[in-house]
Structures are given as structure tokens and as C-alpha cells.
Amino acid sequence: MEEKHKKILQRNRTNLVRDLDPSKLYDDLLEKGVFTQDMIDEIKSSGTRRDQARQLVRDLETRGSRAFPLFLQCLQETGQHSLAELLQNEAPTVQLQPAAPTQVLRPVVQPLPVSSPMDEQKQDDAPVYPVQRPSTTPSPSPEKEYIKTRIQGRTRRDSIQSYKMDSSPCGHCLIINNVEFEPQSELNNRKGSNIDCDKLENRFKVLNFIVEVKTNLKQRQIKHELSALSKRDHSQYDCCVVIMLSHGTEVSHNRFPGAVYGVDGQHVPVQHITNYLNGRHCPSLQGKPKLFFIQACGGGERDTGFEVSPDEVEPSMGGEDDQTDAIPMSSSSDSLSMSDEPDARATLPTPSDILVSYSTFPGYVSWRDTQSGSWYVETLDRILEENAPTDDLVTMLMMVNHEVSQNSAKGLYKQMPGSFNFLRKLLYFQSQA
């Protein structure tokens, strides 16, 4: 789009977001070739009418030189004359009619063969009760037919419903590693966390991410780094990753449980952490996967596990050097306060395309070995190394859950990772063959 037309849209963005009815435009914009069907689907999924209008105008600026006059024509054709005149008055030289009709390529549909009435009359001589003859080929059992259907469905789903993950680099990965806590925080230093940090830094570099590590951040600094990440232009990337390595606690919430501590003893709720990158606050990540990995306790309760049959028992890796990242539950009075976050809002859209992976079940401690790092990160790193070339992320996290659940701390305590998954598609990382 020409720069002068972009500026017209930007100057009138408020009026467009307030008055535009995107639902009336989708068919015309698709037919005229301004947007693809995938782009329209992404706009529709962005939220309310105002959110869709905002995203439509933003995407319109990325289209070709004919996008602006075609957009004006669509406004006129759908009865949104006041908006068309508003934009036309600032661009009197714009021609509403395109220079040449845009050819829309549509798939050729071949009709299935059907029998004509004459064919049916010819078949009237056939016996009403045809003779049943034994077949030499056994008919497939219902079980085999079901398995066949499942396999075909899975193949089709994998090929269609997978996130685009082929940009190079794939996206940003921010790691916040809190190791040394201030004395007044009354929190112990987290020995072994640097091992976790090094593993994940190297792993996500291998997965073709731009990795940035921040160490020993206070609460305000954590918010600052997340805010800076949300304000970056992610339009050239396919994904964004945030990894939190710190002490944690349980807080009241309405979406994502838990909170992560800064080295000053002040916490940031996980719910607020995810808000920085949702579709409303980080438009260039709309429709793209946002992944959060939380190595911190969800609370102070210790899980002693329960008895299982012998075939469920596997060797554990817990040792005498295991520590926890647990802090008692925080009061709910400050856990949802967002008044000090200018880029946060009280009412948020559904957190689509977000996955939060926790090292432990909400309310329980997370174990960390001072010599080899945390159970969760050590297992996650190995599973990614071994399975990223073939398996999607959710499948790999299930592997992590299973393996960590087999460990025991001090021969007694257990740990169960888990995730809150709002991804809409399968996610396959880039991997080196």
C-alpha cells in the first residue's frame, strides 16, 4: 500500500474501529483478492467487532497498492458510505473502480456420476431380492474400519491444523533466571538454576529462536522486560517463548494459577505474565503461538504420592540435594491488582494460542537438584532434544509429565507437571536433521 494511503488509514483509525462493520466486508474483500481466506479467518478470531475492525485496518496496510481503492469500493458496496466518504475526502485522486477486474481462482468441482431416471427404469427388471452370494474377500470388521478412519483423520488434521513454524529465526525466547534473592525477601538462593538456564538457552537456540537471558530481576524489572517484549514487532516471526525460573507461590486467579517471584520478594501472577503477549496487547503475535514455561512452585504442599502396581514403578532420580521453590500462598488482595500496569486491562479476551506449562501441579512444590538442576527442566530439555523432529509440543509435554511423575525426592515426595493449553493447532518446532 502506498504510504499516503497508510497515513489516511492511521489518521482515521479511531473512526474506523468505532464504526466499521467488518462482517459485511469479508466476502467482498475475499472476492477482490485483497485478503486470503486464512487472513479473514484470523481477523474473525481476533475478538469483538472492534477488535476485528482494528485488525482488519492493520492488515489492510500490509496489502498491495490496490488495496486502498478496493477497500473504498467495498465500503460503498456494503452501504458504509460515511466511512467511504471520510477516507475519499482525504484521497480525492483514488479511483473506486479497480483498473481491471480481479480474477478469482476457484477450485474446479467435478460432479459425481448419478443415475438418470432412464437408468433406474432399466434396472426395474432386476430381482427385488438379489441373491446373496458368498464373498471370497472378508468384509472388514468394525474395529478395523474405526482404526482406518482414525488414521486417515489424523493425517488430514496434522497437515491442515498445524501452526506455521518456518520463519528463520522462528521467534524470540525470553528467559528470566532468578537465582540470588535479596535478604529482605527472606527467600533462599536457587542453587542449580543456572544449570537449567544454560540447558534451555542452548535448546531454544537449536530450535532456531533468538534467545535473551535476564538474571536476578526484581518484580518491576520482570514487568519491564515482558512489556518490552510485547512492544516488539513479531510480524516476521511465527512464535514467542517466555521461560520463568524462580521461586513461586499460589495466588487467586480466574485463568492461569500461580505467581513468580522477583528477587525483591514481590511476585508477578502468571496470569499477568501471559496478558502481556495476548492478542490484545501484542497485535503482531495475534494468531501465533505464545508459549510459557514456568519452573517454580505452585504452592507449599508436598505430594507423597500413592501406591501403584509394580509395572508402573520406574527408577527415580531424586536425591538428597533436592530443594523446593515453594513459598506459602499469597493473599488474594494483591494477586489480581492491575492498577500499576498501564498496558493491562481488567477485561481480556479468551487467551487463544497460549500454552502455559508448569513444572508442578498448582498448589504443590517443584523439586530442584542443586547439582543437576530441576527435574522438570532436565526432562523437558531431553524430551525436546530427542523428540522435536517427530512430535508436536503437546505430545512432548505429556512425555515430560509421565517421566517427572516417576521421580521421588528424598525417597518420598513426588511431582506432577501440567499445562493449560489454549493452542488451536498442533505445534511442531523447527529441528536440525
Q: What gap in Å lies between CA 409 and CA 417, rounded to an integer?
A: 15
Answer with the residue of higher pLDDT: 380 or 302: 380
Could you tell me the strand order of the sheet in which 267-269 lies? 248-249, 259-261, 267-269
**363 pLDDT tier (thresholds 50, 70, 90):** low
Whether residue 169 is preceded by a cis peptide bond, meaning omega within 30 degrees of 0, is yes
Per-residue pLDDT tens over the stretch 112-163: 554 444 444 444 444 444 444 444 444 444 444 444 444 444 444 444 589 9
Please compute the mean of the pLDDT values over residues 409-418 and round it to a whole number: 65
Q: Is 297 a catalytic residue?
A: yes
Question: Where do we find the cell 503477549?
Answer: 277
Instruction: Delineate the domains of the chain, giving CATH numbers in brackets.
Output: 3-90 (1.10.533.10), 171-421 (3.40.50.1460)
Secondary structure (H, E, C), 236-278: CCCEEEEEEECCEECCCCCCCCCEEECCCCCEEEHHHHHHCCC
Q: What gap in Å lies between CA 431 and CA 206, rounded to an integer?
A: 7
Catalytic annotation, pick one of 74, 170, 240, 297: 297
**89 pLDDT tier (thresholds 50, 70, 90):** confident
- Residue 185, phi then psi, degrees to nearest 5: -75, -20
Answer with the residue of higher pLDDT: 116 or 278: 278
Question: Where do we find the cell 513459598?
Answer: 327
Q: Are 19 and 86 in contact (CB under 8 A)?
A: no
Catalytic annotation, pick one of 247, 267, 272, 281: 247
pLDDT at position 249 is: 83
Q: Tell me the three cell numbers of residue 60.
A: 489492510
Enter the DSSP assignment of 168: S
Q: Are 173 and 384 in contact (CB under 8 A)?
A: no
**166 pLDDT tier (thresholds 50, 70, 90):** very high
Secondary structure (H, E, C), 108-125: CCCCCCCCCHHHHHHHHH
pLDDT at position 407 is: 66
- Residue 418, phi then psi, degrees to nearest 5: -170, 175
Number of residues that this document lists for the chain: 433
Those residues with Cβ within 8 angstroms of residue 412's Cβ, 6 or more apart along the chain or in another chain? 304
